Amino acid sequence: MSIRMPSSIQTRQMLLGLQRTQDRLAQNSLRVSSGLRITNPGDDPAGAASVLDLGTSIQANDQFQKQADSSVSFLKSAEDVVSSSVDSITRLLELGQQAISGTSGASGRASIATEVDGIRTNLLALANTRAQGKYLFSGTMTQTQPFSGPSAGPITYAGNTGSINLDVSVGTTVTTNIPGSTLFFGTGGQGSSTDLFQAVTDLRDGLSANNTAQIQAAYTNLQGALASFTQAQTDLGGRQAGLISLQSMLSGFNLSLQEQQNNLQDTNYPDTLTQVSSDTTVQSATLSTMAKTNKQSLFDYLG
């Protein structure tokens, strides 16, 4: 008669197998509860690295989108000012044409001069418009009021000609401003024939003095200013359209990156629950086998 004792090797193998099964159960239970397939880098080093890279790209695109949003807002504010200026210049040309036509006498022209002076004041206010707490037309000196001057004297500029540039994607930068001196003084600079404020002042003074030659000269200069402002309006609109298109592209790209990240990171519930069920069955069977094998009753080992 011999006593059959359980093999220590067999026992160790069962214990190792049981440990692996329990580890998988713990990991898969965490995946089910957290919703994440990768809960620490060791679960899938390559997958974890890819998830991190995708997250970095998504964050970068989110920042680009914020920059684009800010740029569109700033450009829209500038375009609104330019659009209002275009309306004002158009009205000035109407008044100038009325004065040049000869149907208005000295008193009529003096009356028109009052309206022109009001438009001049309004244009000065437009040139000093602020948005997002910044002056639109001060160049990079956004906390400095760009334009000032007496009603009877020239309008001066206190800003600079710097450009405000924002990165809106990798390798893409957009200029979000037009320096006020460039826009309101034109290519000729302050006091020249392209200076809008000078043209308006000349029109007002010519009307007040009943000076048809001065009225005509101011009218001609205002026609040039209208063309310049209309071009600026088109340019600002084009920049906005490009940014809006870029925002759409970035949004679509981020959705694609997010989908890739989710596919790598999120729990596949059908597969994981199937694995949990299988491992639970294996664990129960292993424990049952070990319980039977390791009974220490002498009668279980009688041959």
Query: Domain extents for the chain?
Result: 54-260
- Tell me which of 48-52, 98-102, 174-178 is least confident: 48-52
Count of beta carbons in the 10 Å neighbourhood of residue 293: 14
- Tell me which of 79-93, 112-126, 188-202, 286-300 is least confident: 286-300
Reading the block at residue 239, the tokens are 């920049």
CA geometry: angle 127, 131, 137, nearest 5 deg? 35
Say how far apart CA 136 and CA 138 lie, in whole Å: 6
pLDDT at 171: 78
Q: How far is CA 115 from CA 86, 99, 112, 203, 218, in A?
A: 16, 12, 5, 11, 15
Confidence of residue 269 (pLDDT cuts 50, 70, 90): low
pLDDT, tens digit, 9 for 90 and up, residues 204-217: 999 999 999 999 99
Instruction: Please check whether residue 230 is in contact with residue 238, taking contact to mean a CB–CB distance below 8 angstroms.
Output: no
* Predicted confidence (pLDDT) at residue 82 exceeds the cutoff of 50: yes
Which one of 3.50.50.60, 3.10.105.10, 1.20.1330.10, 3.90.25.10 gives the CATH number of domain 54-260? 1.20.1330.10
Average pLDDT value for residue range 71-84:
94
pLDDT, tens digit, 9 for 90 and up, residues 134-154: 999 999 999 999 999 988 889
Average pLDDT value for residue range 241-246:
87
Q: Which long-range contacts (CB under 8 A, 24 or more apart) does 41-48 make?
A: 47/264, 47/265
Highest mean pLDDT among 5-14, 169-178, 192-201: 192-201
